[in-house]
Structure 1
Amino acid sequence: MPIKYSDILSKWKENSIKTEADLDVLLGDFRVLFAYNSNKIEGAGVSIHQTREIFENGKVVGYTGDLRALFEAENQRACYVFLKDKILVREKVSENLILNVQEILCHGCYDESRWQKGERPGTYKKNYYGVGLSVGVMPEDVPEEVRFICDELNGYQFDNAEKVLKAAAWFHCSFERIHAFADGNGRVGRTLLNYILMINDVPPIILFDEDKETYYMALEVFDHTDKIDGFVAYLKEQMVKTWTRTNPKGEEFICI
């Protein structure tokens, strides 16, 4: 019988997460695959093996590719370390948390063009970087918009996992539409999505690079309609894909 979204939720709740060591064990493979796919969606060229080397050894041997891609992978590791204790104490999503996450994920990665325009990691964009016709508010509107979605999220009543997933989906789509930073909006948004899920006892999700067209389509639907049903359905599919594996006999099993 195929594994369902509800099976993943039930299995996740069996885990006792009390320490950072517990998180490291539970998210051992997840954090590597999440970092790889989140960066890959943006076109980074670091392999899964190289990403794992960074997470486990803090270095990569014999790498000859783009250094920015290497920095982005290391930044993913640093961001995971930064968020671990906050996950355990269930720190709320705030403007300050978002700025810190962006600074870590984009440290050393702004290109010369952005730097000359006055852009810096850890600060909101100073110039307009729109995507299409409906994504990206003006720089002067960013702080108010970010504070608004944080307040809306933190005022929400999380009675069950379905409400958590819908709230996380709404926040992610809203954050991507704001386009608050000169760079790193996607990586920051995907990190915050999982942070919201985890502080509310819902398993985190890998948005796989091979499914990014569906991801972009679901975001676009929200941009034009404000509806999140399609994005929520996409997240459920990705969650099942994230937490299942297939053994040599072709049988599925939960890998949590």
Structure 2
Amino acid sequence: MRRNCPVTGDTAKVVESADRIIVEHSKLGRYTLDTNALSELEADAGVRERMAHWIAESHSLGGDIPNLTIEHVHLFERLADLEAAIAEWHERREGMKSADYERLWRKLRLEWNYNSNHIEGNTLTYHETELLLIHGRTAGGHPMRDYEEMKAHDVAIDYTRSLAGEERIIGESDIRQLNQILLKEPFWSYAETPDGQPTQKRIIPGQYKTQPNHVRTATGELHRYAEPEETPQLMEEWTRDFRRDLERNAYPLPLFLAESHWRFLCIHPFDDGNGRTARLLANYALFRYNLPPIVIKSEDRDRYIGGLQNADVGRILSLAQFMLENVLWSLELAIRAAKGESIREPDDMDKEMDVFIEKRRLSAPNNSDVEVLDQVFLRHVSPIIEKLDRLCERQGTELFSSYSPHKYVVPSRGGRVSGGVLGTDQWEGTKKHYLVGPGFELSDAQQVEIGTEYHFYGYAGVGNQGFDLTLSIVWKLGSERFSFEAAINGNLLTAIGHRVPYSELDDRDAEVDLTVEAICRCMMDEIDSWSQRPE
């Protein structure tokens, strides 16, 4: 187990040897020491001692020591505050009341779940996170994946705590399992091809990436992570170093957290959930040391990202300072709880105001249902209609006297809206004006319908002429699934109809070409049948 104040042998001898270690390593070219840093070191024997041990230990492990600056000295100066806080926490936690421990863990758990997911774009408020995780209730209209992510993250926290409590140290399979718990099940995600074109890729939880997952920054530049073929070897090395560094004596905790965190995110081993996995691993280390977990607040996201960006160009200390501040925040909170004091924070009033406003806000559309509506339209309705429009127009204009397509939607509140409502460039307006309003949700009692009727008037081809045909297709969206039906002159094409649960939308192929082909063959058979009837 890691020691908080690493001193071996006689303290005076250690301090005496500190300058020699620093000077010797500097002469060997292992690092340089700027003038300001040297001046500070001369004035503080305790800082010299800590740095000397760190340098010697790192060198013995074959590690590279960076050029030492005044920022290194300042970080090591603050380690005394950290060690004092750790010592007080360990002393007070021994006699801590169970009620105080429970309220501490409840706050840390909620803060961790809320902030770690919010950093990645989750839309649940702090109050909604509390309702979901403490009371098992949902509130507000959000994409269903946001609720699932929050619950899965809470399960991953429990798994992290259980791993930290085991005698063995975490391994690669445990890290993959953490990611699998976070992401829960496979899903499709938007991505970008190497030439910048939008596409989709399938995310497999717990598996290392098989395609590049570089991201384009706000400036348009491509930020590169490890390539897929490099990832297994890099993760093997990262896990080996993480396991070793957990047991090191002289490695400053904030520096260890920062460097391991940054290295993991440089690899970005998974297709999704890398940030949340990395933050779970940082807290795994803290749990191993019997310390409270850190919570990287969503309002500190810019500083967090800035620290990672500084690390990208060799300046790891800003991230280390950031980690130190977060460790100290958690320790101070834990010590107050152990003393039976209030652990409320200044922004807790803002959180209570969130609760107050949410309770009184007019009902908003159920965003998870809006998301389903979009998904059904974009993956099923729009591509089928686009292909049928072209093929039916050919039949209608070349074989019939006149032809008329008729598109419509039926909102859940009733009434039928026809006209230009189903083009991809018209869909947002259709949703806004006709389908999605306050309190919108998909229900079985009042289903949303999206449909098209193709009217063919006066057959003028070979054989019996003059008959009319109407092809109808409709999607009906209920609370848990949608159905698809096709009919000719009111007679259902039973072989074509189907029902799809929303839970299978990500996994199930829309089979656009097969569906359109089947409908067109039925139309051709119907035309053949009517044209061959005796006059």
Same fold at TM > 0.5: yes
In the TM superposition, residue 108 of structure 1 has moved relative to its aligned partner by 3.9
Match of 1:183, SS? Answer: coil
Letter in 1 for 2:121: G
Partner AA of 2:123 in structure 1 = G
Paired position in structure 2 for 1:32: 110
Question: Once structures 1 and 2 are overlaid, which stretch shifts more, 86-95 or 66-75?
Answer: 86-95
Q: Does 1:232 align with 2:310?
A: no
Q: Does 1:159 align with 2:249?
A: yes
Residues 1:187 and 2:271 are matched in the alignment: no
CA deviation profile, 1:208-250 (whole Å, cap 9, x unmatched): 111111111111111121x4322111111223334546xxxxx
Aligned with residue 60 of structure 1, among 101, 121, 137: 137
CA deviations on 1:132-176 (whole Å, 9 max, x unpaired) are: 55541101111111110111122234326x633322221111001
Distance in 1 between residues matched to 2:166 and 2:117, nearest whole Å: 27
Change over 3 Å in CA distance of 1:146–1:24 after alignment to 2? farther
- Report the AA paired with residue 41 of structure 1: I
Contact 1:129 1:136 in 2 (8 A): yes
Secondary structure class of the residue paired with 1:117: strand
Q: What is the rounded CA distance, in whole Å, between the counterparts of 2:236 and 2:102 in structure 1?
A: 31
Q: How do 1:130-209 residues align onto structure 2 when only pairs under 5 Å count?
A: 130-131=214-215, 135-156=224-245, 157-159=247-249, 163-209=252-298
1:128 aligns with 2:212: yes
Please list the CA deviations of residues 79-113 of structure 1 after superposition, one character each: whole Å capped at 9, or x if unmatched: 12222322222542321111011111111474354
Kept in 2: contact 1:75–1:106 (CA 8 A)? yes
Structure 2 CA distance for partners of 1:124 and 1:179, relative to 1, 3 Å: same
1:64 positional shift: 1.9
Q: Does the residue aligned with 2:211 lie in a helix, a strand or coil?
A: coil
**What's the counterpart of residue 153 of structure 2?**
76
C-alpha separation in 1, matches of 2:101 and 2:234 = 32
1:249 corresponds to which residue? none
Q: 1:134 to 1:32 in 2, by over 3 A?
A: same
Q: Is the 8 A contact 2:186 2:204 kept in 1?
A: no
Structure with bigger strand share is 2
Residues 161 and 284 in structure 2, CA contact (< 8 A), matched pair in contact too: no
Confirm or deny: 8 A CA contact 1:12 1:203 kept in the other structure.
Answer: no
Q: Deviating runs (4+, > 6 A) in structure 1?
A: none
In structure 2, how many angstroms separate the alpha carbons of the residues matched to 1:145 and 1:87?
23
Cα distance in structure 2, aligned partners of 1:117 and 1:87: 33
Count of aligned residue pairs for this structure pair: 240
Question: Identity of aligned pairs, percent?
Answer: 24
TM-score, with structure 2 as normaliser: 0.41
Tell me the secondary structure at the aligned position of residue 27 of structure 1.
Answer: helix
Deviation at 1:56, TM superposition (A): 1.8
Answering whether residue 182 of structure 2 is matched by residue 93 of structure 1, we say: no
Q: Which one-letter code corresponds to 2:146 in the other structure?
A: A
- State the distance in 1 between where 2:186 and 2:111 align: 21
Q: Distance in 2 between matches of 1:199 and 1:24?
A: 19
Report SS of the residue matched to 2:113: helix
Distance 2:295 2:167 in 1: 20
Give the match's secondary structure for 2:165.
helix
Which structure 1 segments of 5+ residues have no match? Answer: 246-252
Alpha-carbon distance between aligned partners in 2 of 1:95 and 1:71, rounded to the nearest angstrom: 25
Q: Does the residue aligned with 2:230 lie in a helix, a strand or coil?
A: helix
Indicate conservation of the 8 Å contact 2:156/2:181, yes or no.
yes
Evaluate the alpha carbon distance shift between residue 110 and residue 254 of structure 1 in structure 2; reply closer, same or farther with a 3 A threshold.
farther
Equivalent of residue 126 in structure 2, options 24, 48, 62 = 48
Q: Counterpart of 2:125 in structure 1: which amino acid?
A: S
**Aligned residues of 1:93 and 1:196 also touching (Cα < 8 A):** no
Could you tell me which runs of 5 or more consecutive residues in structure 2 were left unpaired when the two chains were aligned.
1-80, 192-198, 334-340, 345-535
> Which amino acid in structure 1 is aligned with residue 115 of structure 2?
N
Letter in 2 for 1:121: P
- Please say if residues 165 and 232 of structure 1, whose CA atoms lie closer than 8 Å, have aligned partners that are also in contact: yes
Residue type of the partner of 2:253?
Answer: V
- Which of 142, 162, 180 aligns to 1:103? It is 180
RMSD of aligned residue pairs (Cα, Å): 2.9
Q: 1:11 to 1:72 in 2, by over 3 A?
A: farther
- Greater Rg, structure 1 or structure 2? 2
Q: CA deviation at 1:201?
A: 3.2
- Does 115-124 or 189-198 show the bigger shift? 115-124
Q: TM-score if structure 1 supplies the norm length?
A: 0.82
When residues 153 and 9 of structure 1 are mapped into structure 2, their CA distance, relative to the original with a 3 A threshold, is same
Amino acid at match of 1:30: L
Residues 45 and 65 in structure 1, CA contact (< 8 A), matched pair in contact too:
yes
- Distance in 1, matches of 2:85 and 2:342, equals 7
Segment of structure 1 superposing worse, 34-43 or 124-133 = 124-133
How many angstroms apart in 2 are the aligned matches of 1:51 and 1:196?
25
- Is the 2:231–2:267 Cα contact (8 Å) retained in structure 1? yes
